[in-house]
Amino acid sequence: MPRRRSRGSLLAELLRLAGEILPSLFRSSTEDYVELARREIDELRRKVRSTLDLKRVSELELKRRELEEQISKLFKEQGDWAWKYTIEQTIGHITATEDHLRVEKDADFCIRCLLEKHLPALLVYASEGVTFARSDEERKLYQELASVVRDMINLGTSNKEEFWSRRLEFSDKLRSIRKQLALKLMS
């Protein structure tokens, strides 16, 4: 028969066990609580950073809009002159290119002049024209011009005979673009 213990000894044993168990339970729950608190603090930091980032993004967006307005104003002031100059120079180089393409003699000389002078200039003016264009239609004209000129340069440097055989085709494309740009200039 098992021996009966007194209440006092049971209480003492219970207190002893509680003294061993409770600190570890308390430490465990405290560590869990601290870890949970750390997670909440980290989440709050992320939210604060996110809020600050959103505020910073808003500030930067406002600054970007202000700069775009200033640039737009400068383009308007300087753009009229630059727009007209770009169209006039483009028309001039297209006209010279058309003249070279319609020559029947001395193809090598004309091809060299086109590849070294007029076609590179047209690429530059086409690039500028895209920037200064006042409409999507005008921008597309300059993009088409750049495409035709690149084709001409590629063919002129790789196969001069084929380039020369297609010269009237190129001339007609350039003439069409030139006429449309001239209409823009007159309007």
pLDDT the model gives residue 61: 74
Among residues 100, 99, 120, the alpha carbon closest in space to that of 108 is found at 100
What is the per-residue pLDDT for 38?
A: 67
pLDDT at 8: 62
Q: What is the pLDDT of residue 104?
A: 79
Give the pTM: 0.59
Q: Which residues of the chain register pLDDT less than 70?
A: 1-38, 41-42, 44-45, 47-57, 68, 71-72, 74-79, 106
- Give the whole-angstrom CA distance, residue 92 versus residue 86: 10
Task: Work out the number of other CB atoms within 10 angstroms of the CB of residue 125.
Answer: 26
The total of other beta-carbon atoms located within 10 Å of residue 15's CB is 11
What share of residues in the chain are helix, strand, coil (percent, to 5)?
90, 0, 10
Give, to the nearest 10 degrees, the angle between helix 136-158 and helix 119-132.
160
Q: How far is CA 13 from CA 4, 19, 26, 118, in A?
A: 14, 10, 19, 105
CATH fold group of domain 73-186: Four Helix Bundle (Hemerythrin (Met), subunit A) (1.20.120)
For helices 136-158 and 167-186, the axis angle rounded to 10 degrees is 160
